[in-house]
Amino acid sequence: MSFLLGVAIFIVALLLSIMLHEAGHFATAKKFNMKVTQFFVGFGNTIWSRKKGETEYGIKSIPAGGFVKIVGMTELDQVDPADEPRAFRRHPGWQRAIVLAAGSFMHFALAFVLLFILAVGVGLATASNSTKVGAVDSCVPASVTAGCAAGAPASPAKKAGVRLGDKIVAIGSVPVNNWTEMGKAIRSQPAGKSVAVVVERHGQRLTLRTSLATLRGHGSFLGVSPVVVFQRYGPLGAVSYAANQFGQIMAGSVKVVGSLPRALPDLFARNRASTPGGQVTSVVGAGDVTGQVLAARIGWQPKAALVLLIIASLNIFVGAFNLLPLLPLDGGHLAVVIYERARAWLARLRGRPDPGPVDFRRLIPVSVGVFALLVGLGLLLIMADLVNPVHILQ
């Protein structure tokens, strides 16, 4: 039930993001007195619509996007002579650029608000310095940043029977009072040799024995994590956090796009989660991950934090991707406007007339090719997420 609730939350958030994206185009187009005839969420057959004024609002059967129809987007569009002064193509370049960029701006604004809410309302996770165990690793990963690969051995802590809530009071013969001391005590013990782990459980002290593993770049490894506490920020601190996190997610989104060629061969690999193929996903995969988070046996704060981060990250990625200078994306249309204005400026410098708008007939093959490539990539990612999903919580 929790899993289905998580998927439902993601779907609602996705539809809200689509509506806000189109609302950005709609509001700015209306502001500049452009004629907007349709505002729809989804594609395909119309499920519901209502006309108010000159605009028809509605919902279509396939919730895979949305659109706002503005009269006269290109010179190829036929426009009633009475509407020509309000056509998109007849407005100044700066106004057209704002309308085209407004969709991505709404994604960015929503992401920033969600990150702000995370810091103010949920709080940010910080590790407690006590020796109370907040998580027991299920395996020995290949490195500090890697996840559990198929066939990885169980962690020493799991083998020893360390439980959540245990307070570790000694490693070997070394007493520990905080997480820093415990880390030093673990790394001082030789890997592969049996060591005593003294824990306090329900008021009683127990001595557990295990052999520490070796973790590349880390040294001796037990496989426990501290209790996580959530600290709420004030408004100024939340703004600072949101700005910093926004930048990190944006940089990560660029990295994901750059790793896409390397990720494709790993989409159907058994160890996808530990390869570049585990870093790319479709909306189906993102919905599945949200469901996993809601179904996980963790507190409400880490659940809320992870869900907000997933939705914020999705919006930042979509907003940035949509600005790529590729038709039929908004960024492609924006690139055309910038090219037209730059060409007109150079013509004025040379004392020549404005060359006018770009001939979109020459761009149609490019637009169709990019669209087909994006659809094919999307279908491939959906297929991978259906038959080889990524499990983020072990």
Task: Provide the annotated active-site residues.
Answer: 22
Q: Please classify residue 71 by burial: count the beta carbons closer than 10 Å to its beta carbon, then call 0-12 exposed, 13-18 middle and 19+ buried.
A: buried
- Say whether the peptide bond before residue 328 is cis (omega within 30 degrees of 0): yes
- The DSSP element (H or E) to which 66 belongs, if any, is strand 55-70
Count the Cβ atoms, other than its own, within 10 Å of residue 23: 16
Q: Are 46 and 24 in contact (CB under 8 A)?
A: no
Provide the CA 13 distance to its chain's centre, in angstroms: 12
Q: Classify the C-alpha dihedral 394-252-17-230 as positive or negative.
A: positive
Helix, strand, coil shares of the chain as percentages rounded to 5? Answer: 50, 20, 30
Distance CA 377, CA 321 (A): 14
DSSP 386: H
Residue pair 196/214 in contact (Cβ under 8 Å)? The answer is no
Residues in contact with 251: Cβ distance below 8 Å, sequence separation at least 6, in sequence order:
none
Taking alpha carbons only, the member of 293, 282, 295, 276 closest to residue 321 is 282
What 3-state DSSP class applies to 248? helix
Q: Which of 231, 252, 6, 286 is nearest to 118 (CA)?
A: 231
Task: Give the Cα separation of 14 and 283 in Å (integer).
Answer: 9
